[in-house]
């Protein structure tokens, strides 16, 4: 789509590497710094979809920036500056090759597995008789592998340690931080009339210290329900009113796409992409309590490049 950022190809002074992820383009500057550009790409079922979503990158970057600041007392994070609405610059850390997923409710992929008969998730036993969107007595940590390509896979604490993805000591720190961050995110969401249903965090190490890296509490990494009416909808077996990327997954599934070989992504019309954009903006305004101010898209690449270079040269 016009005026969406789906690809960057910058060459900054001191640049040593560039990595194009599913959503973010990450530029390494020297040995110690990263420039992370949140593009307007959107992925689902670990597939990058063919059309960009207007303002999605700005939404993700600005939510992340706010939540990194709001949780810096819990754990140090990689952010140094956000010089552009779509850019964060920070410390380069060695990432743990796991994503720390935490779930407060039985929904999404966990519910789909449970409904099919699974009663353990990442080594955690689940009771019989649970219903979709039911709250767990306590949030459960259900890590996944972090695949370079293809699908992330569920993995247990024991498997993480056995495979050397983290030491026992480091894993226990990761789990502690995951629960503390989720508690803070839950409290902030509750103040805005939302329920933080589940989310994922990524961590890295620098000079022996663990840092929170990447995005946090965005609609790409998290699922939110509206608090108002949650219980009534749950008791009636109705779908929850939610703000997350799950509505994109459901639209894809309804149109015969789940990322399997041979399946074709349904047509993403400009009207559909605009509707997704509106949902992302709605979440931004709901979770931050601030009006979303659309950035100028007329010279997007030039603006981003100028703002990054100005920061790097100061």
Handedness of CA 151, 157, 163, 165 (dihedral sign): positive
Domain membership of residue 226 (yes or no) is yes
pLDDT tens, 258-274?
Answer: 999 999 999 999 999 99
82 and 121 belong to one structural domain: no
Which of 122, 182, 150, 146 has its CA nearest to residue 43?
150
Q: What is d(CA 185, CA 222) in angstroms, rounded to the nearest whole number? A: 10
Give the whole-number percent of the chain exceeding pLDDT 70. 98
Range of the domain at 128: 95-244
Domain count, the chain: 2
88 and 112 belong to one structural domain: no
The residue ranking higher by pLDDT, 175 or 314, is 175
Domain membership of residue 86 (yes or no) is yes
141 and 210 belong to one structural domain: yes
138 and 196 belong to one structural domain: yes
**Residue 221: which CATH number?**
3.30.470.20
Give the whole-number percent of the chain exceeding pLDDT 90. 89
- Which of the listed residues 244, 268, 292 is the one where a domain comes to its end? 244
Does pLDDT of 150 surpass 70? no
3-state secondary structure of 252: helix
Predicted pLDDT at 246: 79
CB 35 within 8 A of CB 29: yes
Per-residue confidence at 65, pLDDT binned at 50, 70, 90? very high
23 and 147 belong to one structural domain: no
32 and 155 belong to one structural domain: no
Predicted pLDDT at 148: 64
35 and 141 belong to one structural domain: no
Domain membership of residue 255 (yes or no) is no
38 and 68 belong to one structural domain: yes
Which letter does DSSP use for residue 293 in this model? -
pLDDT tens, 13-58?
Answer: 999 999 999 999 999 999 999 999 999 999 999 899 999 999 999 9
Predicted pLDDT at 219: 84
Domain membership of residue 10 (yes or no) is no
Per-residue confidence at 209, pLDDT binned at 50, 70, 90? very high
Tell me how far CA of residue 167 lies from CA of 44, 160, 211, 243, in angstroms. Answer: 31, 8, 16, 35
């Amino acid at each position: 789509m016009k005026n969406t950022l789906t690809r960057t190809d910058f060459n900054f002074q001191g640049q040593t590497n560039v990595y194009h992820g599913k959503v973010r383009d990450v530029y390494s500057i020297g040995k110690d710094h990263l420039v992370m550009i949140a593009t307007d790409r959107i992925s689902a079922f670990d597939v990058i979809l063919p059309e960009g979503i207007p303002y999605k990158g700005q939404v993700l970057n600005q939510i992340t920036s706010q939540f990194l600041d709001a949780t810096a007392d819990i754990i140090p994070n990689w952010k140094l500056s956000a010089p552009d609405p779509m850019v964060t610059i920070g410390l380069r850390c060695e990432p743990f090759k796991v994503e720390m997923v935490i779930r407060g409710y039985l929904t999404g992929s966990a519910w789909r597995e449970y409904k099919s008969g699974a009663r353990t998730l990442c080594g955690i036993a689940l009771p019989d008789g649970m219903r979709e969107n039911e709250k767990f007595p306590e949030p459960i940590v259900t890590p996944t592998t972090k695949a370079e390509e293809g699908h992330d896979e569920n993995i247990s604490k024991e498997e993480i340690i056995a495979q050397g993805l983290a030491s026992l000591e480091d894993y226990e720190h990761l789990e502690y931080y995951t629960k503390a961050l989720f508690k803070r995110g839950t409290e902030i969401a509750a103040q805005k009339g939302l329920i933080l249903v589940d989310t994922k965090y990524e961590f890295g190490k620098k000079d022996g210290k663990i840092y929170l890296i990447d995005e946090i509490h965005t609609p790409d990494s998290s699922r939110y329900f509206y608090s108002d009416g949650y219980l009534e909808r749950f008791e009636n077996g109705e779908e929850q009113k939610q703000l997350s990327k799950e509505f994109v997954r459901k639209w894809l599934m309804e149109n015969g796409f789940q990322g399997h070989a041979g399946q074709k992504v349904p047509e993403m019309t400009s009207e559909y992409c605009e509707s997704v954009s509106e949902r992302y903006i709605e979440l931004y305004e709901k979770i931050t309590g601030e009006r979303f101010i659309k950035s100028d898209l007329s010279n997007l690449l030039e603006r981003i490049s100028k703002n990054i270079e100005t920061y790097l040269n100061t």
